[in-house]
Structure 1
């Protein structure tokens, strides 16, 4: 809808110069020379400079000058100075419009270049997770709180290491470019350590050292690390992050919390799906101030296709918020192949 509105606005602005000059010409002919409509012919190049390129603005300005001469002769204004004053006004506005069009064109080219670079950087920072990793399917959803942005302070990554599938979902303090920079530090450290460390505890310790070394001031990151071993055992490390949601074989839902002073958390109960997410999901509020009831929406994940299931959950989250989300909301869904087809292997 936004693109349609932009195209409609551009079409309106493109016709405004011609419409303005037509209205001024008609009014001048009807009202006669005594009213003084002639200088308003300069509205044509003025409007053109708002939306058109410099060539179009120059063309509209030339038409405006011809129209100004025609109306001036019709009104007999060149016998006095009013006709020449009107021509100078049109010429001056045309020149200003051309200059404005040139500067706007340069700014638009620079903005397009910056957006292109930003899109590449976004793809590098939050690159797509593999659709499959061993026996797992994976799907990712990301909704940024910043308009038109694809990334923000939330982060996710999945790495297939010799010791199992390693996953991180995290949330950086704050928003904007500073949060993106911090997310890049965390993801870089995780991608390197996930391949090298033999267990999740070592991975977590190395990640803590890397983040402490790179981050300055009071910046912090909440995160959940997960390791899905070859035997299907899932181990968590939770750094002050919302608990993951586990959907069991019978449809029951659990949010496993780590015991006090005990990290990592070993997940012994069976399940077929694992959803990791940031607090932009669990703390999304509706118009009445109620948090999003994530546990009650687990049935949305029954869709056999992981991507469609996660998209259904994302759409439900947006409907709950009834408007733009006030925080970034990242979700990463893991399930074994065959989920929904009667041949799933449980996560234990």
Structure 2
């Protein structure tokens, strides 16, 4: 009785969905049509073996329980055909019934394996997403005078956690520091190396005064910690991180950057898009330990209304079905000027269209726009006024919503 109740509940839930009702009707109609035709044809014509099509179709859209139910109905239909065509004692009908039952059981087994693999894949995807969220701690939409938008696209094999990284943090000297990078490889080793870089960046961004000191601290952390977080026995010397580090002051249009083997950013000014090539690119982090003086800073103008587009090589190396690389700078120039979030959405749709929705590598986009100083001042003042309006004056009791019950 419990099994009957379970089957009835399962069937009711399936039939509640219009698409489910339509798909389930296909194998049921096939069973009915094949049975009726076989019964009304001469005994030397056998259409019963075609009943195996019903559980095979059910397996294409349903789970193992639905497939087993359709398979049982197909076997029952084969029994009915045997009763009308000479009885169930004939060798031919017994062989057909047994063969149909065995094939239906095999189809159910395939469904069980597929369902189990699907659950495992979902768990792995959930773990990967959670790990990346905890590690990256994506920045808010507003960081000082900067508006920020980002996008993280995983490759086709979503069970492999990628090593792309980015972060935006405020500094004590009135500015923001940004990093975007790409760890070679995938999996837990890449996550470990990315965690080393991000941890060193968040600590050094507040402690280091000069940008070259910050990059030197990143290099030192990666060189010291790579053997602890990654397996370097099988591929020594192959663990490194490309990175681009920027220093954007609040009240100065002169921004600085240091590139460690990372693709150059794009500066968007109106409808003009310019590639900010580094004049002195340093090697990727983890390749060598150069002195601080070897990290030379590139200076560029980043004015109010300008936008910076940072990205990993998964964007520019994304290929179309014909093998063409994605022309990022050209496509960005064709988009209308808009907010960082809108720019990221435009690139997202265009990139998926270019690749046919299949990426060979993880890809990260980070768009940063500098807002006018006056607009930033007014927004900060409104935020401060809002805080003061909700804060009780000295000697006054707190509002009822803030009192303990």
TM > 0.5: yes
1:132 Cα shift? 0.7
Check whether the contact 2:273–2:332 (CA below 8 A) recurs between aligned residues.
Answer: no
Give 5+ residue unaligned stretches, structure 1.
1-6
The total of aligned residue pairs comes to 336
Among 161, 165, 168, the residue aligned to 1:158: 168
Distance 1:10 1:234, change over 3 A: farther
Distance 1:44 1:146, change over 3 A: closer
**2:262 alignment partner in structure 1:** 241
Distance 1:111 1:82, change over 3 A: same
Among 106, 116, 124, the residue aligned to 1:114: 124
Distance 1:54 1:331, change over 3 A: closer
**2:180 alignment partner in structure 1:** 169
Whole-Å separation in 1 of the counterparts to 2:59 and 2:353: 41
CA-atom RMSD in angstroms: 3.9
1:133 Cα shift? 0.9
Whole-Å separation in 1 of the counterparts to 2:48 and 2:30: 12
TM-score (norm 1): 0.77
Is it true that 1:220 corresponds to 2:240 in the alignment?
yes
Check whether the contact 1:65–1:90 (CA below 8 A) recurs between aligned residues.
Answer: yes
CA offsets, 1:176-210, max 9 Å, x none?
A: 66545543442233233334434322221121111
**1:140 alignment partner in structure 2:** 150
Among 214, 217, 241, the residue aligned to 1:203: 214
Check whether the contact 1:126–1:151 (CA below 8 A) recurs between aligned residues.
Answer: no
**1:59 alignment partner in structure 2:** 69
**2:90 alignment partner in structure 1:** 80
1:168 Cα shift? 0.5
CA offsets, 1:213-233, max 9 Å, x none?
A: 233321222211111234334
Whole-Å separation in 1 of the counterparts to 2:376 and 2:115: 56
Is it true that 1:229 corresponds to 2:249 in the alignment?
yes
Is it true that 1:267 corresponds to 2:299 in the alignment?
yes
**1:279 alignment partner in structure 2:** 313
